[in-house]
Amino acid sequence: VDYSQIELRIMAHLSGDQNMVDAFNSGYDIHAATAAKIYKVPLSGVTSDMRRKAKTANFGIIYGISIFGLAERLAIPRGEAKELIDGYFETYPEVKRYMDESIQNAKANGYVETIYGRKRYLSDINSQNSIVRGYAERNAINAPIQGSAADIIKIAMVKIQEMIKRNQLKSKMTLQVHDELNFTVPADELDAMKSLVVNEMQNVVKLKVPIIADYGVGKNWLEAH
């Protein structure tokens, strides 16, 4: 069972950007919705190439990707990458505000926090070395997002384990990998575990947008994927 686009959903929550919040709350494909806004076309007019570029921008920008980095990743001219990033921030202006404020808060406090108040200290945030400082600034933007995702799944794991014990199930939580949990489940407990795990993962915290968990089943991890 894995979280669907959890980091983008946390970005929507932290930034409060209305366009991003509305896209998630409407159940739209966030990458197609982003492409439609950036390229100023209806959702039905979004091509697979537009969606691919918007997806890379969606995930790249929350990691502080540069124009050069986006151009390299998409194999496009830097001018087009700049237009893509500019279009992204025009589409999601509150995301840009969140990023700028995260850096300023880190410079003032020396740390950033997750949704649950867990701190990430950034000793290089005021470094005179621009490369070192830039790395810290990217962490200031991303650490609250990645850190909050880590907090959320850990709390879900605790709640799921409590429910497995309470219901005296034989199923076992086997492995956590980033935003995914793997379980070893007897066939006669499969339906109960699907319901239990998805419910706990989706309701572990209330954000401004829904949290979605998807599952797959198989005789091994490869099949389940």
Does residue 72 contact residue 78 with C-beta atoms inside 8 Å? no
CA nearest 145: which of 213, 70, 82, 58?
58
Q: What is the DSSP string of 59-95?
A: HHHTTT--HHHHHHHHT--HHHHHHHHHHHHHH-HHH
Largest CA distance in the chain: 61
Which residue in 2, 17, 151, 179 is the catalytic one?
A: 2
In the structure encoding, which two tokens stand for residue 130, read together? Answer: 């621009």
Helix or strand run (H / E) with residue 112: strand 111-113
> What is the spatial order of strands in the sheet that 2-3 belongs to?
172-177, 180-184, 2-3, 213-214
Do residues 95 and 17 touch, judged by C-beta distance below 8 A?
Answer: yes
Tokens of 69: 């980095």
Q: Is residue 100 flagged as an active site residue? A: no
Identify the burial level of 33 via C-beta atoms within 10 angstroms of its C-beta, where 0-12 means exposed, 13-18 middle and 19 or more buried.
buried
Q: Please give the positions annotated as active site.
A: 2
